[in-house]
Amino acid sequence: MMKKLLTSILIVGLAAQSCTKVNENVYDKYAGDAFYGTAAGADNALATVYGKITGTWGSNYAGRDNCWYDLNSFASDEQVIPHRNTGDWQLDFAQLYTRTELPTLGIINNTWNWIYSSIYSANLAITQLTAANADPSKIAEAKVMRAWLYYLAIDDFGDVPFYTDNNIDVSKIPQEKRAKIYDFIVSELKANVDLLSEARGGAYYGRFNKWAGYMVLAKVYLNAEVYTGTAHWADALAAATKVAAGGYSLHAGAANAGSPLGYQYYELFGDVCPNDETILAEFITQNVVSGNIYGIRSLNSPNGVALIGFAGWNGTVIPSEFYDKYDDRDIRKKQFLVGPQAGGVTYTRDVSSLISPGAAPNEGIRNVKFFPVKPDASGASNDFPIYRYADVLLIQAECNVRLGNVAAAAPYLNQVRQRAGLGDIAAPTLDNIYDERGFELNMEGHRRQDMIRFGKYLLPHGFVPAAPATRLIFAIPTAALNANSNLKQNPGY
């Protein structure tokens, strides 16, 4: 998509004899506004924003490390990287997990910078496309991306800097209330989602189409009570129902001897996310566009060599209390490695220490949900599913229970359970839905938000003590406070 913005071919002819007049014939040249009004130009403007989503080390939504995915995943109960007693791994991940991180933590600062760099790019794209009178669907696409980015910002940080015009000094950007930015997000989505393309896959693989736009709206409404104090369960249900109208279905979960983990289900996390269930994916190709490190980061070195031909990083482990919730019949339990493994490695179920002195090298359950495809020592080419249809079904189940329609909730929940090889629940509770979201969506960046919405986040678990309510949002990074005197630090930091 990335193309050179202006191409000029100048043919210079000199008149005969003593004539010095130069005639310039321009065969391919756009003024800036005119260029962004073309299909290629509009895609170029949008590509800048999409490029930020994929990003690279310390600057991306998911795939590489030390940014948004790590901030939100390691603050939850689903995964942690312990410091190793051999001296491996910095304390950042364990500090997030135990909620002892400081505002100077690099992962916090990286996430903040990535979000605001991406918002800047989205603002620029909107300005370029609007000035060029571009296709309204392309302007809408940029506005939906910006709304999504602000949703990520208020989810993590609460009251944050807010601007829609790049002609402002960073030091002067005002800090707006979370609820006010929530209103902006909802307004932008409602005004633009129906202008988006309904196309699925192909050119729209990895792009915000109408259904992805409604998915963001569903997620925003789903967490409205957290952001504003007022629940919007019926609105979340309506938005999720709009997504379901896009024709999505659950990908098959049947046994498949050709899969490294034995089931078709794991194709959802392979090289290309299947179009039947995937609503929005992040395109990743190792050494070309970012890289997916999540399987490699979990495997120990000899186990990694035996499984994929490359040494693992011996990082991420799954807390045993999270693992223990899975039913042994659940096909999703196949993503975890515990006990004797290829390469002569035995992973223990439990971890003895996270920070001091740290865990022994083979302590902890490992996760290969993203079983590395086309890997090398620094990552793999597995695409990342930002949103998929299983989440839609679980949103529909949750909202129905919260609205008192338990019988209506059951079919949505049970579709997800049936694919996993589990029995139906006739009258699901919120705890049933919370657990199922953990089983289905772990390692996909949703867990922290779910824990907060279900009232579980502040509770003690494993090595993690009970936390004060101030930990429901992260600290504003110290560097941002130093750059903008308008910003006030979140309470408790």
pLDDT tens-digit map of 433-446: 999 999 999 999 99
pLDDT above 70 (res 82): yes
pLDDT digits (tens, 9 = 90+) for 104-154: 999 999 999 999 999 999 999 999 999 999 999 999 999 999 999 999 999
Phi (first) and psi of residue 318, to 5 degrees: -105, 120
- Taking a C-beta distance cutoff of 8 angstroms, is the pair 386, 273 a contact? no
Domain boundaries, the chain: 41-78+103-254+386-458, 79-102+284-382
Name the token pair of 434: 């919370």
Please classify residue 35 by burial: count the beta carbons closer than 10 Å to its beta carbon, then call 0-12 exposed, 13-18 middle and 19+ buried.
Answer: buried
pLDDT above 70 (res 356): yes
pLDDT digits (tens, 9 = 90+) for 145-197: 999 999 999 999 999 999 999 999 999 999 999 999 999 999 999 999 999 99
- Mean pLDDT of the region 332-345: 98
Whole-angstrom distance, CA of residue 437 vs CA of residue 338: 22
pLDDT value, residue 16: 31
pLDDT value, residue 33: 77
State the angle between helix axes of 136-157 and 106-131 in degrees (0 to 180), rounded to the nearest 10.
Answer: 160
Whole-angstrom distance, CA of residue 258 vs CA of residue 270: 13
* Residue 462 backbone zone (phi > 0: left; psi -120 to 50: alpha; other: beta): left
First-last CA distance in the chain: 42
pLDDT above 90 (res 26): no
* Residue 17 backbone zone (phi > 0: left; psi -120 to 50: alpha; other: beta): left
Non-local (6+) Cβ contacts of 458 within 8 A are: 466, 467, 468, 469, 471, 472
Whole-angstrom distance, CA of residue 105 vs CA of residue 71: 10
Task: Please name the helix (run of DSSP H) or strand (run of DSSP E) that holds residue 65, with its range, or none.
Answer: none
Phi (first) and psi of residue 244, to 5 degrees: -60, -30
Bridge partners, 384 (sequence order): 282
Amino acid residing at 229: G
State the angle between helix axes of 106-131 and 39-54 in degrees (0 to 180), rounded to the nearest 10.
Answer: 170
Rounded alpha-carbon distances, angstroms, from residue 74 to 71, 160, 179:
6, 22, 26
* Residue 14 backbone zone (phi > 0: left; psi -120 to 50: alpha; other: beta): beta
Whole-angstrom distance, CA of residue 55 vs CA of residue 71: 16
pLDDT value, residue 405: 98
Residues above pLDDT 70, as percent of the chain: 94
pLDDT digits (tens, 9 = 90+) for 27-52: 454 566 789 999 999 999 999 999 99
pLDDT value, residue 21: 43
**CA angle (59, 469, 442) in 5-degree steps:** 50
Name the token pair of 311: 């040494």
Whole-angstrom distance, CA of residue 164 vs CA of residue 184: 11
Whole-angstrom distance, CA of residue 81 vs CA of residue 446: 18
- Taking a C-beta distance cutoff of 8 angstroms, is the pair 446, 468 a contact? no
Rounded alpha-carbon distances, angstroms, from residue 311 to 90, 300, 376, 383, 405:
19, 7, 9, 21, 50
- Taking a C-beta distance cutoff of 8 angstroms, is the pair 439, 325 a contact? yes
Whole-angstrom distance, CA of residue 215 vs CA of residue 281: 13
User: Which pLDDT band holds residue 399 (cuts at 50, 70, 90)?
Assistant: very high
- Taking a C-beta distance cutoff of 8 angstroms, is the pair 175, 159 a contact? yes
Residues above pLDDT 90, as percent of the chain: 93
CB atoms within 10 A of CB 254: 10
User: Which pLDDT band holds residue 3 (cuts at 50, 70, 90)?
Assistant: very low
Task: Name the fold adopted by 41-78+103-254+386-458.
Answer: 1.25.40
pLDDT value, residue 375: 96
- Global pTM value: 0.93
**Number of alpha helices (DSSP H) and beta strands (DSSP E) in the chain:** 18, 10
pLDDT value, residue 1: 39
Non-local (6+) Cβ contacts of 104 within 8 A are: 477, 478
3-class SS shares of the chain: helix, strand, coil, % to 5: 45, 10, 45
Name the token pair of 87: 């001296």
pLDDT above 70 (res 14): no
Whole-angstrom distance, CA of residue 462 vs CA of residue 469: 19
Amino acid residing at 430: L
pLDDT value, residue 472: 98
pLDDT digits (tens, 9 = 90+) for 239-264: 999 999 999 999 999 999 999 999 99
